[in-house]
């Protein structure tokens, strides 16, 4: 085995977005593309010599080959050890846990999350730091800077390793430790939740459906829900991770997890339904005949987390991304907890979690998590819901209705306009940005603007500032609209419009969501002219 130095050229566009570098798979498979990016990661963190990393991915097309390349580059760069999930598989939260458990120097996760997988679909590579969380902007910027001046990378010229067998092998001096991808994660879940109570719930006839969407959570959900908790066989559907996710779009929302929605709203629906995304960090939760929006889910979890053993002592605080609804703020207020508002992307929660300022965090994009890892965690959210259901002995519908009666309801929706020409999307953003300063005190659709700005965040732990994180217009009645560009897409630009309206109750808590939001949606059109500028009549996806 010899480490060789290969000459290379900087490759344009290797700029990590909201969550790592995501590109079409054929782009990643171009000679040198992956190699350059991985070498840039190692250069940006001061080299790999003597270090230990975690490696795994969501099993999508190219996952296996990419893992082999990364191992060869890690060895040639002098890494001491790489802990790899068997078959190069690890869910994102499981990878985060392993990074922390073994106190490694970070990890590389292969995933494009909820984006479709396959030879012509999406692939992604993300670096997580030693705290187990996605690299902060300072690190992703350093990685990007390296990609712009890279002239060579080091790689071992050796055969591929067998990653299907648990145990240790080597590439040169580097130990490759192949581990069961599920075992440590499942043990962590056993510590946080009352598995006896959950077993009793299932043996008492509680029925559940978990749609793993042919993606990475299948083995985790089958082991935990069916084997350890005794949920009926067949509780987990689409449970085998497939390279193309069986053609599914592994994004757990009402649009892409339609079969689950239909079942939960159909006759003889199970008590509880859930789905997870490509790499297992997202979750959607549905009750019998009732959908739980991710923002509401975060609020309910915050209000009830103390019912699970891992959170018995209560929460230190909560955090949500700016576009996420303020439902959790109301819970924080009622409980006297600090509540933080961060830019979009899990990386902004890392410092708050590390500094023990918050216990729970969440995003409107089907992401919820806690300080047990440094990623959002789909199955964790599902287990916390189950633990709450087991303790309260009420249905999802009852819990949600009671929550709204107590705290009021934040009607909320996100409208996505996908694959727009970049210039059109920027015109929409530019048009609204230009009007922001003049908006306060003006009236739109019968509502008065209280404030309007381009969200800027100062991290309270390290003082770093992130500007341009989304345009927001807040009205005097608490209604709000937010407009931002997606940072995870691989085709054109995606505009996200987030709309919210607060109803204190007791009247009007069970209205149709889109109707309840109609004035805010109309105000968004008036102010940004999305439809006029893009020529689109309607959003592509409404969640």
Distance CA(333)–CA(473), nearest Å, equals 22
- Among 128, 129, 325, 488, the residue binding ligand G1P under the rule CB under 6 A is 488
Residue 487 binds to ligand G1P (criterion: CB under 6 A): yes
| 506 C-beta neighbours (distance < 10 Å), count | 9
Window of 29-37, 52-60, 252-260, 361-369 that interacts with ligand G1P by CB under 6 A: 361-369
The smaller minimum CB distance to ligand G1P, of residues 99 and 449, is found at 99
- Phi, psi dihedral angles at 84 (to 5 degrees): -115, 135
Using CB atoms within 10 Å of the CB of residue 13, give its burial: 0 to 12 exposed, 13 to 18 middle, 19+ buried: exposed
- Among 146, 279, 363, 500, the residue binding Zn ion under the rule CB under 5 A is 279
330-360 b/e (C-beta count within 10 Å ≥ 16 → b):
bbbeeeebebbebbbbbbbbbbbbbeebbbb
How is 133-178 classified by DSSP, letter by letter?
Answer: SBPPHHHHHHHHHHHTT--EEEEEE-PPP--SSSEEEEETTEEEEE
What is the Cβ-side half-sphere exposure of residue 78, based on CA atoms within 13 angstroms? Answer: 8
| Residues of this chain, 92-131, that bind Zn ion according to CB under 5 A | 113
Window of 180-188, 275-283, 431-439, 456-464 that interacts with Zn ion by CB under 5 A: 275-283
Q: Which of Zn ion, ligand G1P, none does residue 487 bind (CB under 5 to 8 Å by kind)? A: ligand G1P
The smaller minimum CB distance to ligand G1P, of residues 310 and 367, is found at 367
Q: Which of Zn ion, ligand G1P, none does residue 39 bind (CB under 5 to 8 Å by kind)? A: none
Q: Which of ligand G1P, Zn ion, none does residue 344 bind (CB under 5 to 8 Å by kind)? A: ligand G1P
Q: Which of Zn ion, ligand G1P, none does residue 279 bind (CB under 5 to 8 Å by kind)? A: Zn ion
- Which stretches of 179-326 are DSSP H helices? 183-192, 195-203, 217-221, 258-265, 294-304
- Among 344, 370, 413, 543, the residue binding ligand G1P under the rule CB under 6 A is 344
Minimum separation from the CB atom of position 491 to ligand G1P (A): 12
| Residues of this chain, 305-334, that bind ligand G1P according to CB under 6 A | 321
Minimum separation from the CB atom of position 24 to ligand G1P (A): 16
- From 443, 434, 427, select the one nearest 536 (Cα to Cα): 427
From the list 96, 113, 295, 413, the catalytic residue is: 113
Residue 281 binds to Zn ion (criterion: CB under 5 A): yes
The smaller minimum CB distance to ligand G1P, of residues 430 and 487, is found at 487
325 is known as an active-site residue: no
User: What is each CA distance from 134 to 57, 340, 373, 380, 510, in whole angstroms?
Assistant: 14, 19, 11, 18, 38
Is residue 455 within 8 Å of 343, Cβ to Cβ?
Answer: yes
Coil, strand or helix at 496: strand
Is residue 365 within 8 Å of 336, Cβ to Cβ?
Answer: no
SS3 content of the chain, % helix, strand, coil (to 5): 35, 25, 40
| Residues of this chain, 5-24, that bind ligand G1P according to CB under 6 A | 18-19
Residue 416 binds to Zn ion (criterion: CB under 5 A): no
The smaller minimum CB distance to ligand G1P, of residues 43 and 283, is found at 283
- Among 72, 320, 409, 496, the residue binding ligand G1P under the rule CB under 6 A is 496
Residue 226 binds to Zn ion (criterion: CB under 5 A): no
Coil, strand or helix at 126: strand
Minimum separation from the CB atom of position 92 to Zn ion (A): 6
Distance CA(186)–CA(454), nearest Å, equals 41
- Among 57, 280, 294, 345, the residue binding ligand G1P under the rule CB under 6 A is 345
Is residue 46 within 8 Å of 99, Cβ to Cβ?
Answer: no
Q: Which DSSP category does 20 fall into? A: B
Window of 162-170, 260-268, 331-339, 484-492 that interacts with ligand G1P by CB under 6 A: 484-492
Residue 346 binds to ligand G1P (criterion: CB under 6 A): yes
Residue 365 binds to ligand G1P (criterion: CB under 6 A): yes
Query: Using H for helix, E for strand and C for coil, what is the string for 514-533?
Result: HHHCHHHHHHHHHHHCHHHH
Distance CA(396)–CA(185), nearest Å, equals 26
Residue 486 binds to ligand G1P (criterion: CB under 6 A): yes
Catalytic residue annotation:
113
Residue ranges binding Zn ion (CB under 5 A): 113, 277, 279, 281-282
Residue ranges binding ligand G1P (CB under 6 A): 18-19, 113, 321, 344-346, 363, 365, 367, 486-488, 496
């Amino acid at each position: 085995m010899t480490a060789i130095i290969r000459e290379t050229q900087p490759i344009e566009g290797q700029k990590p977005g909201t969550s790592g570098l995501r590109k079409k798979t054929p782009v990643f498979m171009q000679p040198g593309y992956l190699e350059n990016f991985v070498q840039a990661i190692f250069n940006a963190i001061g080299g790999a010599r003597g270090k230990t990393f975690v490696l795994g991915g969501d099993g999508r097309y190219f996952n296996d080959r990419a893992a082999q390349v990364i191992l060869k580059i890690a060895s040639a760069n002098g890494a001491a050890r790489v802990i790899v999930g068997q078959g190069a598989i690890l869910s994102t939260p499981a990878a985060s846990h392993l990074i922390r458990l073994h106190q490694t120097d970070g990890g590389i996760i292969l995933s494009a999350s909820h984006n479709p997988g396959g030879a012509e679909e999406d692939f992604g590579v993300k670096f997580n730091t030693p705290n187990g969380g996605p690299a902060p902007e300072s690190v992703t910027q350093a990685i990007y800077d390296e990609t712009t001046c890279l002239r060579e990378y080091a790689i071992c010229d050796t055969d591929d390793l067998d990653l299907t067998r648990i145990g240790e092998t080597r590439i040169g001096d580097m130990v490759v430790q192949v581990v069961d991808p599920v075992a440590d994660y499942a043990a962590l879940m056993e510590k946080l939740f009352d598995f006896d109570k959950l077993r009793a719930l299932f043996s008492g006839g509680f029925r559940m459906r978990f749609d793993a969407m042919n993606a990475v959570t299948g083995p985790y959900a089958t082991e935990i829900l069916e084997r350890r908790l005794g949920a009926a066989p067949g509780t987990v559907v689409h449970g085998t991770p497939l390279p193309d996710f069986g053609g599914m779009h592994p994004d757990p929302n009402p649009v892409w997890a339609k079969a689950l929605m239909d079942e939960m709203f159909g006759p003889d629906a199970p008590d509880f339904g859930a789905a997870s995304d490509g790499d297992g960090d997202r979750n959607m939760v549905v009750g019998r005949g009732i959908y739980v929006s991710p923002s509401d889910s975060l609020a309910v979890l915050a209000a009830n987390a103390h019912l699970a053993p891992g959170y018995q002592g209560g929460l230190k605080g909560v955090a949500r991304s700016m576009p996420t609804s303020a439902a959790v703020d109301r819970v924080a207020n009622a409980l006297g907890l600090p509540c933080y508002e961060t830019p979009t992307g899990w990386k902004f929660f890392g410092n708050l979690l590390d500094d023990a300022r918050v216990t729970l965090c969440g995003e409107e994009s089907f992401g919820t998590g806690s300080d047990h890892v440094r990623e959002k965690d789909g199955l964790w959210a599902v287990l916390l819901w189950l633990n709450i259901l087991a303790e309260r002995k009420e249905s999802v519908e009852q819990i949600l209705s009671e929550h709204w009666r107590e705290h009021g309801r934040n009607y909320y929706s996100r409208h996505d306009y996908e694959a727009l020409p970049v210039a059109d999307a920027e015109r929409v953003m530019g048009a609204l940005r230009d009007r922001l300063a003049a908006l306060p005190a003006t009236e739109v659709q019968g509502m008065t603007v209280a404030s309007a700005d381009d969200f800027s965040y100062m991290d309270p732990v390290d003082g770093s500032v992130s500007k341009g994180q989304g345009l927001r217009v807040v009205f005097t009645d608490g209604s709000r609209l937010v407009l931002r560009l997606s940072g995870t897409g691989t085709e054109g630009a995606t505009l996200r419009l987030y709309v919210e309206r607060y109803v204190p109750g007791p009247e009007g808590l069970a209205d149709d969501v889109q109707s309840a939001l109609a004035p805010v949606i109309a105000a968004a059109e008036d102010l940004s002219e999305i439809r006029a500028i893009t020529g689109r009549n309607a959003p592509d996806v409404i969640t």
